[in-house]
């Protein structure tokens, strides 16, 4: 068994344990009424435009957060070169994502320079900032990173399943996060998080679990902005 990872030994990994334990909240974040309305084709397009503008603001705040996780990975010892490569791929994807938001905003007549971040968005961005502190362990930061990307991946992949009917003009949005490549990227982040969690102290594991839950709550609040929220 020496040198084998928990996964290779058939052990239940920490993210799996949490996904089971916090199933209701996870489903709340990945099957939100906003996502259901895209999936069922009855989305109000003004909600979509609100989401587009708000998410652009979020993604801009997400970039320095990802850079901070990357910097923590660079300081790590074992396996960190693989982690850095995974995250560099993520950075490249974010570069495309920002270009996509600009293109999409001009298509929908959304003026990105005029967007005022809503309360839930401000709170989420502040939470990201708090995770950028050097005091936040790499394990906690990578757990948050994985959860943030995984919620989008699972939400939009849900809109592409058989029998769904997202509006044709939103197909590209669903593909952006629901595609298989993005799914593989999320799995790579999840593997890193599980590897880190396997060797973490109980204290760090608890902090990472609380952070995972906060991400899910922020994601629900974020969807609420565009779908009946405050
Ligand atoms: C709120 C939110 N969460 C996650 C993602 C995926 N990068 C996003 N664009 N926006």
pLDDT digits (tens, 9 = 90+) for 166-216: 999 999 999 999 999 999 999 999 999 999 999 999 999 999 999 999 999
Select which of 104, 137, 154, 219 is catalytic.
219
Of all atoms in ligand 1, which is nearest to the CA of residue 94? Answer: 7
Q: What is the DSSP string of 162-179?
A: TT----GGGHHHHHHHHS
Within 10 angstroms of residue 103's Cβ, the number of other Cβ atoms is: 11
Calculate how far, in angstroms, residue 78's C-alpha sits from the geometric centre of ligand 1. 29
Ligand 1 binding site (Cβ under 6 Å of any ligand atom): 55, 58-59, 62, 148-149, 152, 222
Binding site per annotation, positions for substrate: 55, 97, 149
Catalytic residue status for 219 = yes
Of all atoms in ligand 1, which is nearest to the CA of residue 149? Answer: 6
What 204-207 contacts at long range (C-beta under 8 Å, 24+ apart), as own/partner pairs, is 204/137, 204/139, 204/140, 205/14, 205/139, 207/137, 207/140
CA-nearest of 27, 29, 14 to 152 is 29
pLDDT, average across residues 70-93: 88
Name the residue of 29, 30, 32, 58 to mutate for ligand 1: max ligand atoms within 8 A of Cβ.
58
Of all atoms in ligand 1, which is nearest to the CA of residue 148? Answer: 4
Q: By three-state DSSP, how is residue 77 classified?
A: coil
Q: What is the DSSP string of 78-112?
A: TTHHHHHHHHHHHHHHHHHHHHHHHHHHHHHT--G
Q: What is the DSSP string of 42-66?
A: ---HHHHHHHHHHHHHHHHHHHHHH
pLDDT, average across residues 95-112: 97
Residues 6+ apart with CB under 8 A from 79: 192, 195
Q: What confidence category does residue 229 fall into, taking pLDDT thresholds of 50, 70 and 90? A: low
Of all atoms in ligand 1, which is nearest to the CA of residue 177? Answer: 6
pLDDT at 8: 63
pLDDT at 7: 61
Calculate how far, in angstroms, residue 153's C-alpha sits from the geometric centre of ligand 1. 9
Name the residue of 55, 60, 227 to mutate for ligand 1: max ligand atoms within 8 A of Cβ.
55
pLDDT at 19: 98
Are 29 and 216 spatial neighbours (Cβ–Cβ below 8 Å)?
A: yes
Name the residue of 32, 34, 50, 59 to mutate for ligand 1: max ligand atoms within 8 A of Cβ.
59
User: Alpha-carbon distance 4 to 34, whole Å?
Assistant: 42
Going by alpha carbons, the residue nearest to atom 3 of ligand 1 is: 148
Which single residue is written with the structure tokens 């030994």? 9
Domains of the chain listed by start with CATH number: 14-226 (1.20.910.10)
Q: What confidence category does residue 230 fall into, taking pLDDT thresholds of 50, 70 and 90? A: very low
> Phi and psi at residue 133, in whole multiples of 5°?
-60, 140
pLDDT at 112 over 60: yes
Give residue-wise pLDDT tens across range 56-81. Answer: 999 999 999 999 999 999 987 666 78
ipTM of the prediction greater than 0.90, yes or no: yes
């Amino acid at each position: 068994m020496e040198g084998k990872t928990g996964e290779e030994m058939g052990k239940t990994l920490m993210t799996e344990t949490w996904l089971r334990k916090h199933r209701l909240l996870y489903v709340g974040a990945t099957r939100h009424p906003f996502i259901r309305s895209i999936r069922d084709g009855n989305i109000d397009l003004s909600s979509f435009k609100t989401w587009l503008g708000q998410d652009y603001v979020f993604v801009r705040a997400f970039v320095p957060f990802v850079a901070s996780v990357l910097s923590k990975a660079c300081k790590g010892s074992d396996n960190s070169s693989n982690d850095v490569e995974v995250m560099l791929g993520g950075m490249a994807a974010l570069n495309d994502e920002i270009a996509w938001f600009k293109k999409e905003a001009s298509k929908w007549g959304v003026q990105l320079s005029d967007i005022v971040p809503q309360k839930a968005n401000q709170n989420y961005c502040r939470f990201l900032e708090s995770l950028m502190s050097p005091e936040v362990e790499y394990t906690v930061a990578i757990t948050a990173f994985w959860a943030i990307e995984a919620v989008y991946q699972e939400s939009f992949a849900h809109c592409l399943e058989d029998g769904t009917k997202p509006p044709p003009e939103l197909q590209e949005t669903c593909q952006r996060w629901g595609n298989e490549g993005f799914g593989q990227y999320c799995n790579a982040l999840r593997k890193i998080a599980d590897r880190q969690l396997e060797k973490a102290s109980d204290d760090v594991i608890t902090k990472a679990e609380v952070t995972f839950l906060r991400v899910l709550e922020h994601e629900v609040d974020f969807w609420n902005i565009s779908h009946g929220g405050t």
